[in-house]
């Protein structure tokens, strides 16, 4: 994708996504399957809520003491033989990685899935410098081969089906087989295996850095991350500075939650805990390990009211449950971080001027906050964004004026009475005798944003207050009659 956020108008991106029936249907099915699997496994854990509480506590503790844990992690990783790099910005991270390639004189590498490298647009920048990264995760390889953007942070090719994948590899990689997943996987495995065997550099992400040991964890279902971190002589690990847990005991809690929340499984096929380069006598493992810790705005988030967002462990559960994601799909958001977590994180990374209306792509239903394994109050943070956007003047003038006028009316009894009295005949004029304002109201500016896909009932002539007063009067009369009798 090359950029963290596609700045086309949100409306255009959403309309494009909505008009793609195939993608839309694929996401609906995937959401249902993943959610059911997750729920079944969550139900097996009696004290699931205690786990969530504990995980949030661990993540909060790390964030409150981030300087301490970054230092401890770096010291222990260095003691294990890693070379540490600290990158304040995405550009710094890219420069650091390019320097490593320059020094090695290498022009290609194998890569396992990493959201941090997506965030900094690493692949495109490597290509610009003549370095060819090969994505080895099946889904990432599909996305890379198609030149497409991921639509989910855990299952990036969620919007492809087996026919689309078969056609893609036929067209671009000379695949001659059927749409059978096993056959396609076999083709991919053969293709990637030779890449692994010839690679001198492997780039991976890091699910969690363990401060007490200086280890980096890799969680995958295909074993490709393990190969990318053990076969090449040089491994480059790219991680966000916040992805640290204090110790192995805390890692245990996080893993319990991560895998269940992400893919609805008890455990993944591969879990690696890598501590430095291979030691003398060890058969597998790189000779050199570079760890690039990327800040890219995280310390600003840390110092803000949005700090809870840094607890995120990138499990994707919030998007799997989100009704908006279900309809507009990952691509509707235009960010490499879609869904509720993306709505919170993207504006923090790119700013409101670029993230435009993204915080409004949410119903504030709160389903995401209910499933988040580290208890991030996502819908609260989204609301905070909206408040900040209004405060900083990012809302259109018409909208601001309307809401300012609305606030005045609702906070003044006399104005409220007048508005509700004239409101009924006013809306009647707009609707004729239909009783509601429907999609035929496209000519009414501002209002049509709401009535485009929903009907808006007219205001009733008899106001609620009048009805209540009448009811109370009748009740009082009945009471009086009973007493008189
Ligand atoms: S915000 Fe919570 S649910 Fe969403 S990806 Fe992050 S940890 Fe998972």
| CATH (domain of 50) | 3.40.50.10420
Strands of 167-297, DSSP E: 201-204, 209-210, 215-220, 234-240, 244-245, 270-274, 288-294
Residue 32 domain-assigned (yes or no) = yes
Question: For residue 2, what pLDDT is reported?
Answer: 45
Shared domain check, 377 and 259:
yes
Cβ(375)–Cβ(56) below 8 Å: yes
Residues of the chain with pLDDT under 50: 1-2
Q: How many CB atoms lie within 10 A of CB 187?
A: 17
CB 157 within 8 A of CB 150: yes
- Structurally, the chain folds into a number of domains equal to 2
Where is the domain boundary, 395, 416, 441? Answer: 395
Q: Please tell me the predicted confidence (pLDDT) of residue 85.
A: 98
Sequence-separated contacts (24+) of 99-105 with Cβ below 8 Å: 100/201, 100/234, 100/236, 100/290, 101/126, 101/129, 101/131, 101/201, 104/200, 104/201, 104/234
What is the rounded CA–CA span in Å between residue 337 and residue 428? 44
Residue 126 sits in the same domain as residue 141: yes
The whole domain housing 463 covers 397-484
Query: CA 196 to CA 112: how far, in whole Å?
Result: 11
C-alpha dihedral sign at 320, 323, 325, 326: positive
Does residue 423 sit within a domain?
yes
Q: How many CA atoms lie within 13 A of 190 on its CB side?
A: 8
Which residue from 38, 376, 379, 380 has its CB within 8 A of the most atoms of ligand 1, so it is best to mutate?
Answer: 376
Work out the widest C-alpha separation in the chain, in whole angstroms: 104
Residue 36 lies in a domain: yes
Strand partners, 65: none
- Same structural domain, 401 and 350: no
In ligand 1, the atom with minimum distance to the C-alpha of 316 is 5
Rounded CA separation 163/161 (Å): 6
Report the alpha-carbon angle 329-17-24, nearest 5: 55
Ligand 1 pocket, residue 343 CB under 6 Å? no
The answer to whether residues 364 and 459 belong to one domain is no
| Four-CA torsion 346, 351, 354, 355, nearest 10 degrees | 40
Same domain, 33 and 142: yes
- Is 462 found in the same domain as 361? no
User: Whose alpha carbon is nearest atom 4 of ligand 1?
Assistant: 318
Q: Which three-class secondary structure string do you get for 320-335?
A: HHCHHHHHHHHHHHCE
Q: Contact, 328 vs 361, CB < 8 A?
A: yes
Q: How far is the CA of 180 from the centre of ligand 1 (A)?
A: 32
Q: Is the CB of 318 under 6 A from ligand 1?
A: yes
Q: Look at residues 395, 418, 437 and tell me which one is the last residue of a structural domain.
A: 395
CB atoms within 10 A of CB 202: 26
Cα–Cα nearest to 143, from 113, 163, 182: 113
User: Cβ(312) to ligand 1 under 6 A?
Assistant: yes
Residues sharing a CB contact under 8 Å with residue 260, sequence separation 6 or more, in sequence order: 38, 41, 42, 45, 266, 373
- Both 236 and 210 in a single domain? yes
- Is any atom of ligand 1 closer than 6 Å to the C-beta of 373? yes
| CA 133 to mean position of chain CA atoms | 24
Domain boundary among 395, 429, 458: 395
Q: How much is the pLDDT for 433? A: 67
Ligand 1, atom nearest to 339 Cα: 4
Phi, psi at 425, each rounded to 5°: -65, -30
Judgement on whether residues 471 and 337 belong to the same structural domain of the protein: no
The answer to whether residue 325 is domain-embedded is yes
Distance linking the first and last C-alpha atoms of the chain = 81
The residue assigned the tokens 């280890």 is: 215
Atom index in ligand 1 nearest the CA of residue 317 equals 3
Confidence (pLDDT) at 420: 84
Beta carbons of 292 and 85 less than 8 angstroms apart: yes
**pLDDT at 1 (0 to 100):** 42
Residues 97 and 221 in one domain: yes
Residue 18 lies in a domain: yes
Are 366 and 411 within one domain? no
Q: Identify whether 35 is part of a domain.
A: yes
Residues 389 and 402 in one domain: no
Q: How far is the CA of 484 from the centre of ligand 1 (A)?
A: 65
Do 267 and 415 lie in a common domain? no
User: From the CB of 133, is ligand 1 less than 6 Å away?
Assistant: no
374 lines ligand 1 (CB under 6 A): yes
CA of 402 to the centre of ligand 1 (A): 35
Q: Among the atoms of ligand 1, which is closest to the Cα of residue 309? A: 1
**Residue 172 belongs to some domain of the structure:** no
Q: Please, what sign has the CA dihedral across residues 323, 329, 335, 338?
A: positive
Q: How many A from CA of 317 to the centre of ligand 1?
A: 6
Tokens representing residue 47 in the block: 């004290």
Q: Is residue 177 part of a domain?
A: no
The closest alpha carbon to 346, from 10, 4, 118, 92, belongs to: 4
């Amino acid at each position: 994708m090359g950029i963290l956020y596609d700045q086309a108008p949100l409306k255009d991106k959403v309309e494009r996504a909505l008009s793609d029936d195939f993608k839309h249907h694929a996401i609906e099915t995937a959401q249902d399957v993943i959610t059911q699997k997750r729920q079944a496994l969550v139900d097996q854990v009696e004290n699931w809520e205690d786990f969530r509480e504990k995980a949030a506590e661990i993540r909060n503790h790390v964030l409150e003491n981030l300087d301490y844990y970054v230092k401890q992690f770096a010291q222990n990783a260095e003691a294990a033989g890693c070379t540490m790099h600290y990158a304040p910005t995405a550009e710094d991270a890219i420069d650091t990685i390019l320097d490593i390639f320059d020094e090695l004189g290498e022009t290609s590498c194998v890569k396992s899935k990493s959201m941090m490298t997506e965030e900094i647009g690493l692949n495109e920048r490597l290509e610009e410098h003549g370095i060819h990264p090969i994505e080895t995760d099946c889904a990432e390889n599909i996305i890379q081969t198609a030149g497409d953007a991921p639509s989910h942070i855990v299952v990036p090719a969620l919007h492809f089906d087996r026919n689309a994948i078969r056609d893609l590899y036929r067209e671009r990689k000379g695949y001659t087989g059927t749409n059978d997943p096993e056959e396609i996987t076999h083709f991919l495995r053969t293709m990637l295996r030779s890449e692994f065997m010839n690679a001198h550099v492997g780039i991976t992400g890091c699910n969690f850095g363990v401060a007490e040991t200086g280890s980096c964890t890799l969680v995958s279902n295909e074993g490709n991350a393990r190969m990318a971190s053990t076969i090449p002589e040089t491994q480059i690990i790219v991680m966000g500075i916040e992805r640290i847990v204090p110790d192995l005991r805390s890692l245990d809690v996080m893993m319990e939650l991560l895998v269940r929340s992400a893919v609805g499984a008890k455990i993944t096929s591969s879990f690696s805990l890598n501590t430095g380069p291979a030691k003398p006598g060890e058969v597998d493992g790189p000779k050199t390990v570079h760890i690039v810790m990327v800040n890219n705005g995280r310390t600003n988030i840390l110092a803000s009211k949005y700090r809870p967002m840094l607890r995120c462990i990138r499990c994707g559960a919030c998007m799997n449950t989100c009704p908006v994601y279900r309809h507009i799909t990952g691509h509707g958001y235009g960010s490499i971080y879609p869904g509720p977590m993306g709505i919170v994180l993207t504006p923090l990374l790119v700013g409101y001027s670029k993230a435009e209306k993204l915080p409004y792509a949410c119903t504030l239903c709160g389903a995401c906050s209910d499933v988040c394994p580290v208890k991030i109050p996502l819908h609260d943070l989204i609301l905070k964004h909206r408040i900040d956007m209004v405060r900083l003047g990012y809302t259109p003038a018409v909208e601001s004026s309307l809401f300012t006028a609305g606030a005045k009316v609702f906070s003044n009894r006399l104005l409220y009475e007048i508005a509700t009295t004239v409101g009924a005949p006013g809306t009647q004029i707009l609707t004729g005798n239909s009783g509601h304002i429907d999609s035929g109201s496209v000519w009414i500016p501002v209002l049509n944003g709401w009535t485009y896909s929903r009907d808006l009932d007219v205001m009733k002539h008899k106001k609620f207050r009048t009805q209540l007063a009448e009811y109370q009067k009748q009740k009082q009369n009945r009471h009086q009659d009973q007493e008189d009798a």
